[in-house]
Structure 1
Amino acid sequence: MSHSIPSHDDPSPAYRPNAAIGTSIGLRREMACRVCRRILNTYFDATGRLRHLHPAARTSYDHDPDPVPSAEVAGVARSCDFCSDRYPVFRLDSGPVQALALGEDDSSVHDFGTTWSACITCTLLAQASRSEALTQRAVTRMGWADPTIAAEAVRAIHAGVVGTLRPGRTLLTDVHWPHSPVTATATALPKVRDRLTALLTGPDRMDLLEVRQRQDIAVSLQGGRLFAVDDEFTDLACTAATDLPATVLDVEDLPAPHGLLLWANPVAGGVCAASWASTDEGIRIVSYRGVGGSAGVADGPAVQALREQVGWLIPVSHRLLVHGEAITCVDGALAVLAATWLLIAQRTGETVSVAADRSIRKAYARTRRPAPEVRLVRIRGRQATGPRETRRGEAREPQAQRRWISGYWRSQPHGPGRALRKDIYVFAYLRGPADAPIAASTTVRVLAGERRRPKPQ
């Protein structure tokens, strides 16, 4: 399908076609700018030479396009191909869309391909065949006057996309959303899990996971335990992960065979949550980023639609940890997850059951589901109930800070009359009142599983 649009040589951004990408017809791969990481438009000039063009933007670019395959660019800066919102959610498929750009002396063919990134609002408008509403949203957000040549060109392109739109949509998993912490993290976690399960079992496509994998992960989520990690424990796990040795984990090393864990703050790569499922092949782990919390979804209807149709989490990586495979400090979020597990297992942390939000408990009761149980993971501290005495019998003030006490071996009496001795390992812990800050000099050194504990001499 072709539409006439102004020449690409016109310097004004308002006369460029709206951001549109895709696997271009005949090119078979998506191109991005090496400098700004934006997906580029593709066109053929009057001589038939392949050219690339930045998508429309509110301000002009300070560099020429430097095209490379988008797969070679870390952190591609995608935008909605309809309104230029910075945080698209879905990829839509249409028939081939081309546009003929007519200049005074030459012409060119712009090839927009068949795939389109869309924010949640534009996704719903396109799927409802509201082509004119799409155009009005784009014109408003770009600050264009209407009618103008540019607005009419965009209107024609949008009509071409909506008129040939194919059923279904694909969740985008490579968009770097800003972190949006879940309000009342621990108490809202059951609702977060339910939305994630609905996303995995729903009709939306995902390039990251196969349908069978999604179903298996959803089943393990429903039968797994929920863990909300507080901010202090999250910081501790991140620090510990930097020194994590090659560690082989078995099912008995996990806090539960299946589970979903939500960190208070993002860890490596912006990951804020992870789920795991114990299988015959090994441990299947999925990492998630948060969605929402950006200016692009600041309006109430868009937020509501995002939460209802996507939820709070989207999967961004998937790995099957086979039996005997080691995790090391270079494994990013996976290393932080392993460190979190080990810290829990080594009694550095304690898990406290908390009640889900009242509205969530009522929703579970209406569907005859048992009330969900959530475990809050926090640093275990040794509290002093009052001032301690010195060797001279004088009262000593409670510690003002918590300090990390390294693990050590201790000879423990046992047996009849406590006449026998055995060496037990005292796990590392934080000494001091639970509400006291952690000393700045605190460092977490090498973590190790049961099989790597030091042997007494």
Structure 2
Amino acid sequence: MIDHDMACGACGYALVAIHRDGGVVYEHPVTPAADHPTVPVPADRFDSVFRRCHLCSVHQPWWEYRTEAATVETIDDPVTIIERYSSRWHVCGECAHLIDTDDRPALTRRCTDVMNWAPDSPAALLLAGLHEAIILSREPGRTLITTGTWPALPLKPPALPRIRDRLAALLRGPTGLPHPLADPAVRHEIADGLDQGQFTWIDGEFTDLIEQVHTDLPATPVTERIVPSRVSLLTWANPVGPHRLAAASWTRHQHGWRIVAYRTIHADLPEHVLTALRHEVGRLIPVHVRDIPDDHTVTADDPLAPLAATWLVIAQQLTRDEPTPPEPGLGRSYRRARRPPPDIRIVRIKPAARRTTTVNTAGGRRPPEHRFWVSGHTRHQPYGPGRTLRRDIPIDPYLKGPDGAPIKASTTVRILGDHHH
């Protein structure tokens, strides 16, 4: 998993995740002496988490730089303040641009302007020294931060091949990603899987349905019965679930799957910074990576619950798909590169059937008024000569109820289309 998003329970600041000795520890970016200890708690327990660039303290950070640990001692007679800085620096796009261009004076000016410090003040001179130490001691490269709270960026079906290619380039390229995508072999395997199969775009009505029903998802084993085998990238019309997932991909292993969930990445940045971000990163970033074995169970509180619910509805044949062309000119560029043409499919809920149902109210059980999840179970199935033999077959969770009836979810109801062929 790479979606470590922790904050300090004492102060509400986002913490820095450091992988050490096979585990993860969390630190404050700066720790004044004799201040409170770190109290790591999941960030989603807070209404808001203070995410800030460690340099300018203005914008949300995008990049993590690694440096030597630094200690700054400030003497303001009779008080001496000692601040110990983490070796990880979370930096916004604009400050990152100044670091990468080694523009120390501009970086210091940017930060002193925010603090309203005079350029020749002792604090400004101290800050300039700290910036010089960061730039001169930083390790090569930088790592993309994947736990931010960015505005959603709608993904359109014709653009999916271009978005996929940019994502695959990110995975194959030098840009740092958190564990476990720090491993080049893992990154290349995921990128190779993205290059194969079709694109699936879940339309708005289907996405709304998933947003409603995934919170009631029964325990669902992940098996070949429900996982689409030909899909290389699945995207929803709008972000789904509490983690606001925008897309997912998966690759088959001998004993299971590697599943990656993505979010869109967007920001209000200066044009030159945004252009560089789009070129290096693209529009999707991986926020959740999981290796799961066959028959691993996904429940409603799992980050992958929206994906499992989407698989189940498709496997139950409640949907239809239709092809859609890529962006103009994209097909020609694929042919020039001798690549197979992109196969983009829009998946929609089947339309409701129009027919009259007669209900016998004189006796017997009244049919349900809603559709609802039925948990997975085993059916004792007859087979063989004269259907005299019996065998147990697994039945995956499914939506049950009259054709065309609304779906009963936790708090809302929506009409689900007919599933007859």
- The TM-score, its normalising length taken from structure 1, stands at 0.69
Read off the aligned partner of 1:220 and give its amino acid letter.
Answer: G
1:287 aligns with 2:282: no
Q: 2:319 aligns with which of 349, 353, 356?
A: 349
Amino acid corresponding to residue 197 of structure 1 in structure 2: A
1:361 matched residue in structure 2 = 331
The answer to whether the aligner puts 1:271 opposite 2:245 as a matched pair is yes
1:326 aligned to 286, 297, 301, which one? 297
2:10 alignment partner AA = R
Deviates more, 1:96-105 or 1:75-84: 75-84
Give the structure 1 partner of residue 132 of structure 2.
Answer: 159
For 1:426 and 1:158, locate their aligned partners in 2 and report how far apart those are by CA, in whole Å.
58
Tell me the amino acid that sits aligned with residue 301 of structure 2: V
- The residue that corresponds to 1:394 in the other structure is none
Contact 1:90 / 1:119 at 8 angstroms: preserved in 2? yes
Report the AA paired with residue 254 of structure 2: D
**Are the counterparts in 2 of residues 245 and 329 from structure 1 also a CA contact under 8 Å?**
yes
Greater Cα offset, 204-213 or 348-357: 204-213
Q: What is the one-letter code of the residue matched to 2:245?
A: V
Pick closer, same or farther for the CA change 1:426–1:142 going to 2, 3 Å: closer
In the alignment, which residue of structure 1 is the partner of 2:34? 51
Equivalent residue of 1:329, what SS? Answer: coil
Q: Whole-Å Cα distance in 1 between the matches of residues 196 and 143 of structure 2?
A: 27
Determine what percentage of the aligned residue pairs are the same residue. Answer: 32
Q: Which of 20, 25, 34 in structure 1 is aligned with 2:10?
A: 34
The alpha-carbon deviation at position 370 of structure 1 amounts to 2.8
- Listed as ranges, the gaps of 5+ residues in structure 1 are 1-29, 45-49, 53-65, 392-402, 409-424, 433-439, 445-457
Q: Is the alpha carbon distance of 1:249 and 1:355 closer, same or farther for their aligned partners in structure 2, counting shifts above 3 Å?
A: same
Q: Check the 8 A contact 1:208/1:317 in 2, yes or no.
A: no
Over 3 Å counting, the alpha-carbon distance change for 1:213 and 1:351 in structure 2 is: same
Q: How does 1:22-421 map to 2 (within 5 A)?
A: 32=8, 34-39=10-15, 40=28, 42-43=30-31, 50-52=33-35, 67-70=37-40, 73-74=43-44, 77-182=50-155, 185-209=156-180, 210-268=183-241, 269-292=243-266, 294-295=267-268, 297=269, 299-332=270-303, 334-382=304-352
- Once the two structures are overlaid, the 10-residue window that deviates more, 279-288 or 137-146, is 137-146
CA shift for structure 1 position 360: 3.0
Secondary structure of 1:369's aligned partner = coil
1:325 CA displacement:
1.6
Superposed displacement of residue 145, structure 1: 4.7
Partner in structure 1 of residue 414 of structure 2:
442
What is the alpha-carbon distance in structure 2 between the residues aligned to residue 215 and residue 285 of structure 1? 14
Contact 1:347 1:427 in 2 (8 A): no
Cα distance in 2, alignment partners of residues 247 and 72 from structure 1: 25
Structure 2 counterpart SS, 1:187: helix
CA separation in 1, counterparts of 2:58 and 2:403?
A: 46
Distance change in 2, residues 1:389/1:88 (3 Å): closer
TM-score (norm 2): 0.74
Q: Which amino acid in structure 1 is aligned with residue 226 of structure 2? A: D
Instruction: Output the CA distance in 2 between the equivalents of 1:429 and 1:34.
Output: 52
Equivalent residue pairs, number: 354
